[in-house]
Amino acid sequence: MISEKLKNLKSKLPNEVTLIAVSKTKPVSDLMQAYNSGHKDFGENKVQEMESKWQEMPKDIQWHMIGHLQRNKVKYIAPFVSLIHAVDSLRLLKEINKQAKRNERVIECLLQIKIAEEDSKFGMDISDAAALLHSEELQSFKNVKIVGLMGMATFTDDEKQISQEFQRLKKAFDQFKIENSELKILSMGMSGDYEIAIENGSNMVRVGSAIFGERNY
Ligand SMILES: *Cc1c(COP(=O)(O)O)cnc(C)c1O
């Protein structure tokens, strides 16, 4: 079932779009079904859950932290995390840099941008992200690399609104890229809106329930 859904989904995605299988709350046996069909990119939103799955599973998996990350928990994932999608402050980046250095790694990060109309607690305004990208302190962080942006659209049936929100993010991404050649990833789109996200320039989608089924939590 899981491998079938994954295969179907992948056949619909353009080649340049990376699929992150969002496996939060799902058991390792489910993740292993995806892994055994050749999938290597998994997304989790809780530090402890991701760490324990990392310990149990094959070591060639790329782990994506897609949820809000608290500074005091960065140390648990710094040894192995592949991409942190939801960076929303310089203070958090500073801690990621510190822990990456301890592990002799460079950790790639995305800045989470607030694009949804609904009041979400997380994510930066586009202007704050621009200021962060220009900040001198960032230049001193040798063990983190900002490689793109992430955003979540409003949870609504209004496709036009979703499309407009993704467009705003794509526009900011294109603008930032003029000055920063390291930006290459635009992470937007989930089970309900990944098609709209791709139409609007996403090259990384984070899909959970459409692969693993509904979550009960
Ligand atoms: C849970 C989650 C997803 C996946 O959601 P689905 O609707 O199950 O595809 C994507 N991105 C983030 C940040 C999430 O927390």
| Model confidence, pTM | 0.97
* Residue 51 is assigned to a structural domain of this protein: yes
Question: Does some domain include residue 41?
Answer: yes
CA 175: distance to chain centroid?
Answer: 20
Tokens of 110: 């995305």
**Whether pLDDT at 61 is above 70:** yes
Q: Is 190 in the pocket of ligand 1 (CB under 6 A)?
A: yes
Q: Tokens 């694009």: give the residue.
A: 115
For ligand 1, atom 6, name the residue with the nearest CA. Answer: 208
Residues 115, 169: Cα–Cα separation, whole Å: 7
Residue 126: inside a domain: yes
For 80-99, write each residue's pLDDT tens digit: 999 999 999 999 999 999 99
Query: Does residue 217 register a pLDDT over 90?
Result: no
Confidence class for position 20, pLDDT limits 50, 70, 90? very high
Distance, in Å, from the CA atom of 95 to the CA atom of 93, rounded to the nearest integer, reads 5
Residue 161: CB atoms within 10 Å: 15
Range of the domain at 84: 2-212
Cα 147 to averaged position of ligand 1 atoms, centre (Å): 20
175 lines ligand 1 (CB under 6 A): no
Look at residue 217 and tell me if it is in a domain: no
**Each residue of 33-57: pLDDT tens digit?**
999 999 999 999 999 999 999 999 9
Total domains in the fold of the chain: 1
Q: Is the pLDDT of residue 141 over 90?
A: yes
CA distance 159 to 148: 24
